[in-house]
Structure formats: C-alpha cells, structure tokens
Structure 1
Amino acid sequence: MSKPVFRTVAALAALLVSTLAVGIPAASGAPPGEAPKISWSPCYKKLATEINADMAMLGQPEVSYECASVPVPLDYDQPNGPTIRLSLVRLPASGPEAERIGSLFVNPGGPGGSGVDFAVFFGPFAGLELGEQVRESFDIIGMDPRGVGRSSALKCFGNVGKAVEVFPWAAYPISPEEIEAQIAGDALLAEACASGTKRPSEHMSTANVARDLDLLREAVGDAGLNYLGLSYGSFLGTVYANLFPDNVRAMVIDGVLDPVAWTNEKAELPFSTELRSDLGAGAALQKFFELCDATPGDGGDGSCLISDGTAGDAAARFEAIIERLEDSPLEVFDPFVGETFVLAQQDVIAITLSILYNPFDYYFLGELLAFVEAGAPPADMGAFLRELETETALVSKRGFPQYDNFVEAFPAVGCSDTRNPTDYAVWQDTGIADPDPYFAKIWDWASSPCAQWPREDEDRYDGGFGADTPSQVLVIGNLYDPATRYEGAVTVSELLGNAHLLTVDDPGHTSLGINSFCAGEATGDYLIDPDESLPDFCPGLEDAVGLNWIDLGSPPPDGDEPTGLRVADQLRHRLLPEISYMP
C-alpha cells in the first residue's frame, strides 16, 4: 500500500460490540478424554433487541443468544495436561423441541475469523438464506477457534498500533525497497511471536481445531456433526471429515481450498502460490469486465462507469489504468487523518481484489476505476475512498477500533498447517509459467510471514484426504471465486470418498448470500436430509432473475425496503469480514 490507511481489506472487527469474559495422532483421530460440560448463559441482549426489530419486519423468528466458555486440552497428546478455553455462542432453534435435529456448527474461515461473530450475524438470517426449517431445526453454534478472538488467544502485541507495524507501506512488494520492508515486517512479527511461551501458538493447527470441534459435538449431545464451513472453514471441514469420518452427519463446505495445495508438502513454492488464487481472481475480474461492458456507463444508476458498451472496453481501460499508475501514482488527500498520500498501482489492484469478493459491490468498482482513470483531484479521491469504505464494508488495517489478533492468528494457523520455502527469492520469483498479470504477486506474498514464522504444530494434518463419510459431503464452488478458485471444489469432491459437487455460475467468494435461490436452498434441504437429491449446477443471477450484478449493486432508491436480494446484500456486507481469506 502507499500508506497503511489505504490498505483495504475486509474489516475483521465488524462486530466488536462486546467481548466475552472469558499431523495425525499415531493411533486414531479421536480426541482423548471426556467431552466438557457446557453451561450456557444469556448474552448479547442489547444486540438481540436491535436485530429483532429487523426480524419482525422480515417475518422471521425472534432471536436470543447464549454464550459459554469451555475448557479443552492445550495439547491432545496430553489430554489431562494444561487446558485452554474456547468461546462459544448459540442461537437456539426456533421450532419445537420435538422437531429439533441438533446443532449446526458454523465457521467463517480466515484462518483467524470469529465463529462467534459469524453465528451472531448469520444465525438470525439462516431461515431466509437456507430455508425456515433450518432455523427451526438447528441450534446454530459459533466458536472462536483456539488462539483466536475471545477464546484463549495468541497475542504477540500489546495493542493494534504495535500490531499493524508489521505491515509495510506497499500492498505487496515490487521494488527492492518494498521487498526489504516486507521482509522486515515478517521479522518483526516472528520476533514478537517467538518471545515467551505464547500459548497456544504451537497448537493452533487446523487438526487441533477439528479435535476441539469433535469434543464440542459430543458435548452438545449430537451423534453426528452438522457443519457449515466457508473459505478456510472448508479446510477445517475437510480435515474433520478425514479425522472423524464416522462422526459426520451433514457437512457443507463452500468456497473450497484445495487441501493438497494448502498443506503444500513439497514446499517448493509458497502455499499461497500453490493454491493459484491468482487465476481465480483473474477469472472474477474477467467476469466483471463482461458485466461492465453489458451495462455501459451512461451516467445513470446501474451503469458501469468504466465501459462504453463495446466488447473489451472495460478490460482495455483497466489495463491502461494499471500501466499508467506504475509510473504516475495518484495523490490522495485523506480527510480522516488530514494527510496526503499516493494511490499506487498495487493499491488499486488490492482494492479491486477486495471488491471482487462481493458482486453486490461491482457497481462501486466501476466508480472507483472511473475516478482513477479521470485522475480525480486529491481531495475528491480521498473523499471517494472514504465513502467506498462505508459502502463496501472495507476498512484499512488502521481502521480496527480495538486490538484484534488476526495479525497473529492467520500465520499461527496458516504457517502451522503448511510447508513453505525459507528463501525470499522464491517469493520474488516463483517461476510459475502462467501467472495472472494483475493478481499473481499479491497472492504470492500473502504467505511471506511463513518464511520466518517461529512456531510449529507437531500434530498438524498433512493428508490424505480420501475418507468415506456415511453421508455425502456437499461441496460448493463458484465458477468465478477470486480467493478459493473453483478448481479447489472440484479437487475436494474428487478426493473425498462420498461427496457431491454443486457448481454455482456466479462471481464472488463463496455462494452464501449470492445464490440463495439455488445454492442456499440446496444447502438447507441437504442439512435437513443429507440423503436429499441435490442439483449439480446453479444458474447465476442473470439467468435466474434477469439482473446484472452491476445494476443490482447500484445504490437503491430512497425508501427501498430491505427485502429479497437487498437483505442478501446487507448480509454479505456483515459477513464478508469473517469469510475473507485475503492477502
């Protein structure tokens, strides 16, 4: 980034309205020891009151939340040894007890995303997105994974000001000076997290989170796990299905990471390169160009301001913008801090990638590119970027209202799960033959902290991934996902012994809130009955309802009721901060 204030990423501190007080084992994947007892108590009462006003308008059941803090083994090799605590929230099923199926555990991804925040915001809307019977039949439970958020959290810094010092000024490095700054930031993070015991940093692999999940499944009294995992949460689901295949009742993984690429046993390239998310982002950008050319910029609502309607115009103008910024970055006056910065080529690529996660925001991407193309004055550019943050729910790293430990949690999980080179020359030149011209470098460098990360988890899971579960696993992949590309869903569906692949013809990261009319409905039907016959393909928005994403994403008229797709739009903006696996 040109300056940290414009390093736009999904706001991982979206909730933060309150806090809670609070390898494969040699013989078996089963976690030893007895399941903990969970004592639930009411929580988030004020927030529930606010949400219930929306629920009444939407004709949905009232919500009330219950929270708990549960001890689990720090190290499953020592089941009677030290413990850490997991923070949980539960939204009880709205239907009669006699019709209750069980608990639905949800994980939003990250790694480092808060399952508590996700359950609090998603749970009330589950009936709209997945069908009323899901809301009636399941307690929806979110867990902050070990080391994350409100659970016993790994914290290497005293406050957010110290934490963000690990981020260099460039969104990703190109010049020697920027690369030097990136390496220095990684070293600062490694040094801060190496000092002291830093529990539970050596026990934060996905395999240990899966073991926690199985203990909690037993603790809530479910014979089989019901699970919805998004983005990185798909890897958690895949690992659980392979560690505890007989304990799966229903599992949905949406926005799927290729587990072989993620674990990256060869370690010849960074794991973030092996995932080839750059190709997924490139496909999403091309889809945006196609939508943009179909809704040319005539100045009215719903028009794409970076195309004249000629096929290929949006792509050509984007290429020209990026080339011009390489030598001539824009000056930006940020009214929030009263300082002038520059908007560089890397910044526009990073912001573009962020917006590609959510097709509801594609209209705003056209606006952004039009501002940059026109060389808007510094004050106008700064005011627009601040407005963009509000409209798209994006904030800068410095925008965190309080210290969130995503800075440490992402590498503590990601670097524990994966193998990576230690020579930064590989990050500078990966040697892949077909890099995406815009997004390869930002995804390459997403994993650079792993080059110096000082901790390992001996109990990480490194494969295989072919377990056969009693019920089919529902694997959902968007054709144009800019983070977890569609090929990851195909790979997992082929690796697992009993899986069903659902292909979604839409852009964006995960299908949740994007394709409720098909993928959402199929997910709900499956959770109720895992033997349900499922579709193989879900049409996109245009084929289903005749709307272009850019037209839909334009600002609604005053007084427009938040129903239907407008509710999905609002839900996506609330949930993306937790779903995002993003550099």
Structure 2
Amino acid sequence: MPPALRRTALLCTLLTCAVPLTTGTATAEPTTSFGPGTTATGPGTSAAPPPHFGTCPDSVPAPPAPDRVECGTVRVPLDHARPDGEHIRIAVSRVRASGTPAERRGVLLVNPGGPGGSGLPYAVTKRAKLPAAVRRAYDVIGFDPRGTGHSAPADCGPMGGLFDSPAAGSAPLDPVPHDRPGERAYLDAQRRLAADCAAGTGRALPHLSTSETARDMDAVRAALDEPRISFLGVSYGTYLGAAYAARFPDRVDKLVLDSVVGPEDWHAFDVRQARAVLRQRDVLFGWLARHDSRFRLGTTPREVRAAYLRTRDGLTARPVAGFGAAAFDRAVYRALGRTERWTALGDGLRAYLDEGVVDRLRPTEPFDGPESRTYQAANRAVKCADGPGPTPGRVIADIRGLRRLDPQPVLTGLEAASCAYWHARPTEHTRLGSPAAPPALLVASAHDPVTPIAGARALGRTLPGSRLVTLHHDYSHGVFASRGNSCVDSTVAAYLVGGTVPARDVHCDGPGLPEPSPRQP
C-alpha cells in the first residue's frame, strides 16, 4: 500500500470514516471502521447481493500469469440476529480455477488463522502453494474476517500500552510477573487493554465473534450463488471452519482443518499452547547446543539457556531502540512456531551477546506497527466475543502454574487473559463441529507448539467419520501445502478433488529438525 493511502487508511480507522477497498479505477467499495459513533448504513436484508469484483488493494499480490485476482465486498449485518440493523462490508478476493469446466469442483474459501489474520491476500499466496489439481478444480476465495484488514477493522487504540516501551529514566517493564506486585501490574495491563478495546470498538464489541464470522461466510457463499462451499482453514481457521460446520452442516462440501485449535475455551487453549511452547523452547536449546560451532551459545542445553536468559535479562534492564523484554518474548514466540526461523533466532542471540544489537532478533515483517495493532485488536476482540472469559484469579493461577514448569515462561500467547475484564458479554457460545456435517480431513504436525496435536484429536471427535493426517518428526505450525510433504499434500488433494476420505487415519514421515541455514553476511 502506498504511504499516502496507508496513512489515510489508518486515519480513517481512527475517525470511523470510509476508505476505498480498491486502489485503481474500478468502483470502490467502502470499508467501515468500528467505533463508538458507528451508524447504521440503512435497512438491508439477510440475502447479500452478488459482489462487484474489481481491482484489489496493493496489499494483495498479483498471481502468476495467466491467473488474476479480483476483489470486492459483501454486505452483511453487524448483528445477524438483527438483519435490518446496521451493516458492514466483508472484503473478498477471488482467483478463479485454472482448469476446464469439467474439472471445476466449486469454491474453496481459505483462512490463514489468527484470530486477526487478513485473508484477502491469502487467496493468492496460499493458492500458489496448493497442488496443481486443486488449483485447477477450485475458485480460491480469500476474505478478511470482520474486525480485520479491510472488513471493518477493530480499533483498540493504545491497547493498554501493549506496544509501549518504557520512557527514558522509567523503570523497565517485564511482561512476565514474578511476584505479587508484578501480578497486580499484569492484571492492571489486561484491564487497561480491555478498556481501550471498549473505547475504540464501541457497541460492535460483542459482534466480532467467530459465530458471526461463520454467518458472514455463508453470506459470501450465497452472494457467489454456490449451494455449498469447501473450506481450508489453518490454525484459528480450523476453529472458524468447525463453527461453520456446526451452524451450516448441509452447506459444507469439503472441510480441511490444518493445525487444529481444539474445542475448549480460548484461555484454556492459550495455557495449553504456553506449555507446548516451553517444551519447544527446550528442543530449541538442545538444537542450538548441537550446533555450537555455528552459534557459540553453549555445548549443552543448560549453557544455551543461560545465554538466552542473559539476553532477555539485558533487554529487560536496558531495551535497545525500543526492543525490550516484551518484544523479545514476541520474537521468540514467533520463531518457535516454525523451525526455519531457528537459525535467525540463534544468530540474533549471538549478535546481541557479542555486539549488543537486536537487528537479527527483530522479525522481518512489521510487528509493532498499524498492521500488528489491528491484528492484536481483532485477536482479543474475537477471543473475548466467543465465550466466557477467565476470572482474574484463574489467570494468575495459570501463570503461576506455568512458572512452576519453568521460572521464565513465554506468556505472549495468553491473549484471552484480557477477557477477564472485557466490557461486553458474549452474545452466544461458539459451537464447533456437527455430526450432520460431512467427514472432514484434519491435519497436524506431531510437535506443533502453536496448536498442539491433542486439539486435532479432540475436534475430530465432534466430526464423525473424519480422519487425522499426522506429520510425524515435524516441529512446525502449518502443514498442508506448507511443509512440502508429498504424503500430506497428495492425501489432502485426493480428498479435495476426488472426495477420497481415507479409510483410517494417515501417518506421514516428516523431516525432523533442520540443519542451520547458511550464515548471513
């Protein structure tokens, strides 16, 4: 997105005005931003008119020729229980099937996860990795779920200082509480975050739920004039797909759920994930020790852990260019989810210890800018709209439990902690799965720390006849058309294109831990 348009979009997010979805000469569809002053766009019906497809925002890449991507919007009620109330627009992208009419199998909606991930460019980026037979068979449909990207982005303002660095001369902040004053400060930060979201998002707050988004998906289906949809969801996308199957089981064709979120409340999932992240970090320490000649962090996991803690303690006491303990924990959390990021993390630890620089620890994509703030706002808003949040006492008890497992846990993923102070009650509890839905294909990495495999096994029990495809000896998040595993990819492609449901669960052999990537100059 050009800088001028990016500034305009951010300003309009703050002022609750409309910005164009398209950046070319095609007819623009407005994006609505949530805020206390949100007004109704006029009466409407539950049946969405067909989207007018045109030029896409600059954030959506162009697919390889001769394919092309087109974007539009679908108008939906903010509250589907009140179809004549105020409306918002859901941004949709489409890359048409490349095969013959006889090969076409319909539409494949895709979602990259989150909650909070923008799906508009995902129709292009994910489609490029899909097996050729799937690309020939399906129109791939991306969409920004409500509250994200170009679909009425949520606005949580400062978010309780989530992205703030301590001012010069002030006491450094540690996002992990180690004593009772620290616990009180942690809860106060969650309270302020919830207050920021209430002030910024207003009365839309309870309607940014997975259940409402599932109804938006059905509005997209209707607008495209499709009797049923197929769906590929990754991470949070599996939760969304299971919610759609629960509400509209007769409108599901094929359902692929990759890296599965289990059927539990969000805080329970966050804690389960935090435990898995600690196990994965121990694996990382062992891997770095085995490659000590490259990273020089220690020849044993204990020595590597000591180097890791020296880095974190140093950044806690004295942040470098705004990069402190919270930013470090976020970078570690991100790196632990994909083994191909481990080399950069190891190099970053060494560079900090040798030179005091943090450039190699910073993620390559924007992490604390407007895009990340929108993601973080939508993430909390969706989790807190999906069901009852934890009590403050439960939050602290779970953090103490994590600290008993390891004195220095990574709490970055405990996003539902702010739900303890949320200003809106959920309008309904999100239901997942249905015995009336057709058999689904669930995919999981055996050692994925972001969505532990136990969640896939539990969700599979809500979808009778479904099968689980496990990639063994793998430690990364995101499997199908991501890890390059022919066993996984061919199994899922046969299901999507030919409707082949395996007779039993499928077990595929994964790559194991990688070798370090070449040293960067």
Same fold per TM (> 0.5)?
Answer: yes
- Distance in 1 of aligned mates of 2:343 and 2:83: 52
Name the structure 2 match of 1:276: 272
- The change in CA–CA distance for 1:40 and 1:521 in structure 2 (over 3 A counts) is farther
- The change in CA–CA distance for 1:351 and 1:96 in structure 2 (over 3 A counts) is same
- Would the aligned equivalents of 1:171 and 1:350 in 2 still touch at CA under 8 Å? no
1:297 is matched by which residue type in structure 2?
Answer: D
- Distance in 1 of aligned mates of 2:194 and 2:314: 34
Alignment of 1:184-583 (within 5 A): 184-195=188-199, 198-262=202-266, 270-273=267-270, 275-294=271-290, 296-299=291-294, 305-306=296-297, 308=299, 313=300, 315-322=301-308, 324=310, 334=320, 339=321, 343-344=324-325, 348-371=328-351, 375-376=353-354, 380-382=355-357, 385-389=358-362, 392-397=363-368, 400=369, 404-423=373-392, 425-430=393-398, 432=401, 436-437=405-406, 440=409, 442=411, 445-461=414-430, 463=431, 465-470=433-438, 472-505=439-472, 506-512=474-480, 513-533=482-502, 536-542=506-512, 548-551=513-516, 553-554=517-518
Alignment of 1:128-207 (within 5 A): 129-157=129-157, 162-163=158-159, 165-167=161-163, 169-176=173-180, 178-195=182-199, 198-207=202-211
Q: Once the 2 structures are TM-superposed, how far is the Cα of residue 191 of structure 1 from its aligned partner?
A: 2.7
| TM-score normalised per structure 2 | 0.80
Q: Once the 2 structures are TM-superposed, how far is the Cα of residue 328 of structure 1 from its aligned partner?
A: 5.7
Alignment gaps of 5+ in structure 1: 1-12, 23-31, 56-60, 263-269, 543-547, 558-583
Name the structure 2 match of 1:68: 72
- Distance in 1 of aligned mates of 2:469 and 2:107: 24
Secondary structure of 2:515's aligned partner: helix
1:449 is matched by which residue type in structure 2?
Answer: S
Q: Once the 2 structures are TM-superposed, how far is the Cα of residue 440 of structure 1 from its aligned partner?
A: 4.8
2:479 is matched by which residue type in structure 1?
Answer: S
- Distance in 1 of aligned mates of 2:57 and 2:432: 44
- The change in CA–CA distance for 1:154 and 1:328 in structure 2 (over 3 A counts) is closer
Q: Once the 2 structures are TM-superposed, how far is the Cα of residue 415 of structure 1 from its aligned partner?
A: 0.8
1:36 is the counterpart of 2:48: yes
- Distance in 2 of aligned mates of 1:432 and 1:403: 29
- Distance in 2 of aligned mates of 1:19 and 1:171: 37
| TM-score normalised per structure 1 | 0.72
- Would the aligned equivalents of 1:100 and 1:137 in 2 still touch at CA under 8 Å? yes
- Distance in 1 of aligned mates of 2:180 and 2:145: 37
- Distance in 1 of aligned mates of 2:319 and 2:148: 35
- Would the aligned equivalents of 2:348 and 2:359 in 1 still touch at CA under 8 Å? no
2:446 is matched by which residue type in structure 1?
Answer: L
- Distance in 2 of aligned mates of 1:352 and 1:283: 13
Secondary structure of 1:405's aligned partner: helix
Q: Once the 2 structures are TM-superposed, how far is the Cα of residue 92 of structure 1 from its aligned partner?
A: 1.5
1:116 counterpart (103, 120, 124): 120
Q: Once the 2 structures are TM-superposed, how far is the Cα of residue 139 of structure 1 from its aligned partner?
A: 1.1
- The change in CA–CA distance for 1:525 and 1:172 in structure 2 (over 3 A counts) is farther
% identical aligned pairs: 26
Q: Once the 2 structures are TM-superposed, how far is the Cα of residue 393 of structure 1 from its aligned partner?
A: 2.9
1:381 is matched by which residue type in structure 2?
Answer: G
2:259 is matched by which residue type in structure 1?
Answer: G
Q: Once the 2 structures are TM-superposed, how far is the Cα of residue 221 of structure 1 from its aligned partner?
A: 2.7
- The change in CA–CA distance for 1:305 and 1:103 in structure 2 (over 3 A counts) is farther
Alignment gaps of 5+ in structure 2: 1-9, 11-19, 23-28, 31-43, 165-172
- Would the aligned equivalents of 1:504 and 1:519 in 2 still touch at CA under 8 Å? yes
- The change in CA–CA distance for 1:316 and 1:555 in structure 2 (over 3 A counts) is same
Secondary structure of 2:73's aligned partner: strand
RMSD: 3.4
- Would the aligned equivalents of 1:318 and 1:369 in 2 still touch at CA under 8 Å? no
Higher relative CO (Cα under 8 Å, sequence separation at least 6) belongs to 1
1:282 is matched by which residue type in structure 2?
Answer: L
